[in-house]
């Protein structure tokens, strides 16, 4: 007999006698839980257990010179609080977010609007040309941009020279290194944002624009009144994705600057990596990891409280 733990409906099914086993199964939600077991094994093992484990580890001193873990309570956190480099790292993350996120979003939106116009055959070409950086590993893009950012013979300084811009030392300047990484990240990511906005734009009915135009609204007014508000949920989604990925910056820093010069490009994930795999200070690494996860969870809660509910329950069309 076929497994019929689906919600029973119709007189035919209700008339059949139900065995004790089937009743129990129905009570426990039936065999549904079994379907979740494969996923749950991995989710627990590689997402939830690590969260708990790193919180636990953060309460110990554990490094290459102290192979036995020593309980120190919140000492790691206190040490971090006092460490100026930690605050510098957070500041770098903040600068990066402020520099990269609005710019990438604006650029993505702007191009989405333009590409959404009737451009004929060229539209496909434009989309590919603007989106292809997403297909390249960040490492490869980073290598390429190290070459482009070369102060003496790099492409960027050469063409900037035509615009009268004095030579910038880019990755070797304490002031220009982080901006360089931001520029490179924008180049890499804006195509993806553009696509998301493009999809959303195509969901806005042309009639709305027509009506507005009939009322005498110009392009900018139409944008402010129709496009921008209706893209609200999309923008929020893009924003959240952007924030989470801004904290994941690692590859570029690892390849291009190794955190320098003078830790001006040292970001959180690289900082954790340094502690865990350079200094082998696993206790401190766990502390930083726990703080980072705490930050993410706070962010998630915020998102859920504001918009999440709508998304969550809206499962269908």
Is residue 127 a contact residue for another protein (CB under 8 A)? yes
Q: Helix H segments across the chain?
A: 11-15, 20-27, 32-43, 49-57, 75-82, 84-115, 122-131, 138-148, 155-162, 177-201, 206-214, 219-222, 228-230, 232-246, 251-256, 268-273, 282-303, 309-313
What's the DSSP call for residue 172?
G
Output the DSSP codes for 180-215. Answer: HHHHHHHHHHHHHHHHHHHHHHTTS-HHHHHHHHHT
Q: Does the footprint of another protein cover residue 312 (CB under 8 A)?
A: yes
| Only segment of 14-22, 68-76, 94-102, 237-245 that touches another protein (CB under 8 A) | 237-245
CB of 123 to another protein, least distance (A): 9
Interactions with another protein, residue window 181-210 (CB under 8 A): 187, 191-192, 195-196, 198-200, 203, 206, 209-210
Strand, helix or coil for residue 67:
strand
Written as one string, the DSSP assignment of 232-248 is HHHHHHHHHHHHHHHTT
Is 104 a binder of another protein (CB under 8 A)? no
Among the listed residues 101, 105, 146, 242, the single contact to another protein using CB under 8 A: 146
Angle at 96 between CA 131 and CA 311, to 5 degrees: 60
Number of residues that bind another protein (CB under 8 A): 140
Quick check: 103 binds another protein (CB under 8 A)? no
Could you say which of 74, 81, 87, 132 contacts another protein (CB under 8 A)? 132
Residues 240-269 close enough to bind another protein by CB under 8 A? 244, 247-248, 250-251, 254-255, 258, 260-263, 269
**Of the residues 16, 18, 24, 41, which one makes contact with another protein according to CB under 8 A:** 41
Minimum distance between the CB of residue 28 and another protein, rounded to whole angstroms? 7
Residue with tokens 């609080």: 81
Instruction: Please tell me whether residue 298 binds another protein under the rule CB under 8 A.
Output: no
234 Cβ neighbours under 8 A, 6+ residues apart: 196, 197, 200
Task: Identify the residue among 94, 98, 213, 302 touching another protein (CB under 8 A).
Answer: 213
Task: Please pick, from the candidates 18, 45, 78, 302, the single residue that binds another protein as defined by CB under 8 A.
Answer: 45
Residue 306 engages another protein in binding (rule: CB under 8 A): no
Q: Is 64 an interacting residue with respect to another protein (CB under 8 A)?
A: yes
Residue 145 within binding range of another protein, rule CB under 8 A:
yes
The sign of the torsion formed by the CA atoms of 205, 206, 209, 214 equals negative
Q: Which of 75, 103, 169, 239 binds another protein (CB under 8 A)?
A: 169
Asked whether the beta carbons of 247 and 269 are under 8 A apart, the reply is yes
Nearer to another protein, 95 or 134 (CB): 134
Residue 254 CB, shortest distance to another protein, in Å, is: 7
Least CB distance to another protein at residue 98 (A): 20
Q: CB neighbours (10 Å) of residue 276?
A: 17
Instruction: Report if residue 277 touches another protein, rule: CB under 8 A.
Output: yes
């Amino acid at each position: 007999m076929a497994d019929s733990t689906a919600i029973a409906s119709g007189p035919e099914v209700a008339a059949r006698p139900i065995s004790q086993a089937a009743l129990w199964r129905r009570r426990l939600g039936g065999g549904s839980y079994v379907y979740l077991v494969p996923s749950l094994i991995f989710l627990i093992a590689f997402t939830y257990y690590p969260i708990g484990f790193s919180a636990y580890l953060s309460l110990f001193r554990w490094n290459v010179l102290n192979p036995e873990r020593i309980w120190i309570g919140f000492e790691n956190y206190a040490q971090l609080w006092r460490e100026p480099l930690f605050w510098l790292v957070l500041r770098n993350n903040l600068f990066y977010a402020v520099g990269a996120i609005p710019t990438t979003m604006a650029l993505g939106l702007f191009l989405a609007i333009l590409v959404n116009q009737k451009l004929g055959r060229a539209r496909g070409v434009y989309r590919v040309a603007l989106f292809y950086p997403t297909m390249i590993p960040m490492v490869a893009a980073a290598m390429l941009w190290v070459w482009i950012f070369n102060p003496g013979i790099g492409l960027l300084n050469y063409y900037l020279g035509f615009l009268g811009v004095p030579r910038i030392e880019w990755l070797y300047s304490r002031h220009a290194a982080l901006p360089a990484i931001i520029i490179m990240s924008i180049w890499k990511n804006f195509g993806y944002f553009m696509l998301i906005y493009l999809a959303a734009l195509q969901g806005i009915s042309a009639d709305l624009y027509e009506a507005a135009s009939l009322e005498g609204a110009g392009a900018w007014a139409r944008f402010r009144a129709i496009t921008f508000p209706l893209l609200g949920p999309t923008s929020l989604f893009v924003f959240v994705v952007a924030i989470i990925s801004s904290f994941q910056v690692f590859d570029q820093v690892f390849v291009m600057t190794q955190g320098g010069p003078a830790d001006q490009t040292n970001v959180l994930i690289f900082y954790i990596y340094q502690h865990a795999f350079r200094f082998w200070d696993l206790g401190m690494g766990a502390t930083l990891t726990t703080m980072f996860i705490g930050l993410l969870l706070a962010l998630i809660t915020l998102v859920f409280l504001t918009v999440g509910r709508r998304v969550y329950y809206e499962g269908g069309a």
